[in-house]
Structure 1
Amino acid sequence: MEVNISNNAREVFQVVQKSKLSDISNRSDITKVILSFYDKVHKDPEMAPIFKMPAEEWERHIIRTENFWENWLFQTGNYHGGLMWVHIEKNQTHPLTTDLFEKWLSYWFLTLDELFAGEKADFMKSKALEIAQMMNKRLNA
Structure 2
Amino acid sequence: MTYRVRSAEDRRREIQEHAARLGIDEAFVSNLVDSFYARVRAHPMLGPIFAAKIKDDWDPHLAKMKDFWSSVAMSTGRYSGKPFPAHMKLTGVTPAHFNIWLALFRLTLEDISENPETVDYFMERADRIAQNFQFGMFELQNLPTS
TM-score (norm 1): 0.74
**Displacement after TM superposition at 1:86 (Å):** 1.0
Deviations 1:72-112 (A, max 9, x none): 2222221102210110011xxx3221111101000001110
Q: Does 1:96 align with 2:97?
A: no
**Displacement after TM superposition at 1:118 (Å):** 4.7
Deviations 1:61-81 (A, max 9, x none): 111110111112222221102
CA distance in 2, matches of 1:32, 1:135: 24
| AA aligned opposite 1:132 | A
Runs of 4+ in 1 over 3 A off after TM superposition: 118-121
Partner of residue 103, structure 2: 106
Answer yes or no: is the 8 Å Cα contact 1:24–1:118 preserved in 2: no
Aligned residues: 116
Give the 3-state SS of the residue equivalent to 1:76 in structure 2. coil
5+ residue gaps, structure 2, are 1-20, 140-146
5+ residue gaps, structure 1, are 1-21
Compare relative contact order (CA 8 Å, sep 6+) and give the higher one, 1 or 2.
1
Answer yes or no: is the 8 Å Cα contact 1:33–1:115 preserved in 2: yes
Partner of residue 67, structure 1: 67
**Displacement after TM superposition at 1:120 (Å):** 4.0
Q: Percent identity?
A: 26
CA distance in 2, matches of 1:24, 1:55: 32
